[in-house]
Amino acid sequence: MTRPANRPLSPNSWQYRELNAKTPGLSHLSDALISLAEAGEPVVAGSADLQYSNGLNTFAARYPDRYIQFGISEQNMVTAAAGLATTGLKPYVATFASFLGLLCCEQIRMDVAYCAQPVRLIGHHTGISLGFYGTSHHATEDIATMRAIADLTVVSPADGPQLAAAIKASADYPEPIYFRIGRGREPDVYPLDTPFTFGKAIEHLVGEEITIIACGMTVHPALEAARTLNAQGHSVGVIDMPTIKPLDRAAILAAAARSKVLMSVEEHNVLGGLGSAIAEVLTDEGAGVRLVRHGIHDEYSLIAPPTHLYAHYRLDAAGIAEVARGAMGLRKAA
């Protein structure tokens, strides 16, 4: 079979290096780092053969002398980032969350957190957002591992603008941070340049029947679910909890005081994640309110495209609404 040599490819075709153009939400990380660098912050970025997946290729093109390609050596990258930080630089290193939160767990503990080096770890494509790439690429344990590490802040932004704001706010943050972020396709919850404060919950809706406390990509569908339920006459509150550690305990206790039920939503195992962290606060304080933990129930995800998985695991708006109805003691709407 002969092929015309220069026949243009269909606009539907794309290849890896065109991911940025195809996924505008990927630009937030690089854009925020570029703005920090422009402001004179001594930032340095590193990636482990995934610069087109996390968008750091844009930063690399702009600041080639402040970018380090580590190749497929994630553990080396994390420890080297700690070494870079000792010289006064502010390293931001990124790879898939499954690799950072599990493969590099010990390097993060020993070399970043224990050594108190202000490294920023960016775990992208977290949760089950890599869909049919399978369990090796899913991160449903990273909140659990990272929040058990002393002196490490854990942040799970809801969308690109919140990620950008958190990255900018991180310039002066003294502790190391683990950022747990999605795949850059999450619908925006926040407008650009919404200020970000570490350790502060963001209350979107106040509800008396139930308050949903969500983080990461589940914030947007949780809001959608609450609006649907509220339109049906319910009183459903929603809190975005972007900082999982240190946790905004006051916000949780306030929600516990005014809502009959609390419900956590996370793209993570229900063991050890946001729901567990909330449960710890409630038991510490004897809050005596029921908490329904919604997420991945201690299993390895099926294989499917991400949106199919979100529907299957009831992490989309319809699914979250259904679980919330159950939590409120209501039967599923017809």
Residues that bind other proteins (CB under 8 A): 42, 44, 65-66, 68, 70-71, 73, 75-89, 91, 106-107, 110-111, 114-116
CB of 109 to other proteins, least distance (A): 9
Q: Is 311 helix (H, G, I), strand (E, B) or coil?
A: helix
Cis peptide bond N-terminal to 176, omega within 30: no
Q: Which is closer to other proteins, CB of 78 or CB of 328?
A: 78
Q: Which is closer to other proteins, CB of 32 or CB of 84?
A: 84
**Cα separations (Å) of 53 from 49, 61, 272?**
9, 15, 27
Cα 21 from Cα 35, distance rounded (Å): 20
CB of 65 to other proteins, least distance (A): 7
Q: Is 177 helix (H, G, I), strand (E, B) or coil?
A: strand
CB of 40 to other proteins, least distance (A): 13
Beta strands at 177-180 and 153-155: parallel, antiparallel or unpaired: parallel
Q: Which is closer to other proteins, CB of 74 or CB of 142?
A: 74
Q: Which is closer to other proteins, CB of 68 or CB of 317?
A: 68
Q: Which is closer to other proteins, CB of 77 or CB of 327?
A: 77
Q: Which is closer to other proteins, CB of 77 or CB of 265?
A: 77
Q: Which is closer to other proteins, CB of 6 or CB of 86?
A: 86
Q: Is 244 helix (H, G, I), strand (E, B) or coil?
A: strand
Name the token pair of 40: 């004179």
Is residue 4 a contact partner of residue 38, using CB atoms and an 8 Å limit?
no
CB of 43 to other proteins, least distance (A): 11
Cα 317 from Cα 224, distance rounded (Å): 6
Cα 286 from Cα 224, distance rounded (Å): 31
Name the token pair of 30: 């690089």
CB of 245 to other proteins, least distance (A): 19
Closest CA to 124 of 25, 43, 212: 25
Cα 61 from Cα 13, distance rounded (Å): 24
Q: Which is closer to other proteins, CB of 73 or CB of 232?
A: 73
Name the token pair of 29: 């990380």
Q: Which is closer to other proteins, CB of 101 or CB of 161?
A: 101
CB of 59 to other proteins, least distance (A): 14
CB of 95 to other proteins, least distance (A): 13
CB of 176 to other proteins, least distance (A): 12
Cα 139 from Cα 137, distance rounded (Å): 7
What residue type is assigned to position 150 of the chain? A
CB of 72 to other proteins, least distance (A): 9
Place of tokens 């992208």: 124
How would you label 155-192 residue by residue, b for 16+ Cβ within 10 Å and e otherwise?
A: bbbbbbbbbbbbbbbbbeeebbbbbbbbbbebeebbee
